[in-house]
Amino acid sequence: MKFVAKFIFWLIGWKIDPTPPEGIQKCVVAVGPHTSNWDFILGRLAFYQYGVKGRYLMKKELFWGPLGWFLKAIGGIPVDRSKKNNLTDTAVSYFEQNETMYLVFSPEGTRSYNPDWKKGFYYVAEKAKVPIYVAYIDFATKTGGFHSLVWPSGDADADIQKIKDILKNYKGRFPELGID
């Protein structure tokens, strides 16, 4: 799949930062800006190119029949959002159960403009004692990749602002819906 992903990126004119995430076995990936359904497809291809298996929390209603099998094969983890369960603890348990884990989040929580990010990704990283790897997608330059690590300091607002400051330099497919 690595070569297929590289070929697709070449075909559509995208370049993925060639530097793979080295030395990191477990992390939360905060990717942005998230303004289009294409973000997931490009991100998934980038993970194939890097040889990293990203994992994604998805609503369990999507996991039926062949679609469910496919979603699990590409890293989907079904989550029952109707139950009052602690999603943070559930996500942390995945870190405890796996030797390597790249759990991917779109902190904006929507493809629409949202200045008030969901903080769940941050609390998962903090509780699991793993770094947050900031990843970007930039439609303006047709580039993407892993940017840098942010270790949770305990000050969620300050750390999230640091991540926003990094990601606001990149443009989503619909820039008006991105980070400011």
Find the mean pLDDT for residues 49-75: 91
Domain ranges of the chain: 2-177
Contacts of 141 (CB under 8 A, 6+ apart): none
Per-residue pLDDT at 85: 66
For the segment 123-150, the average pLDDT, to the nearest whole number, is 96
DSSP state, 130?
-
Q: Do residues 33 and 159 touch, judged by C-beta distance below 8 A?
A: no
Q: What is the pTM of this model?
A: 0.90
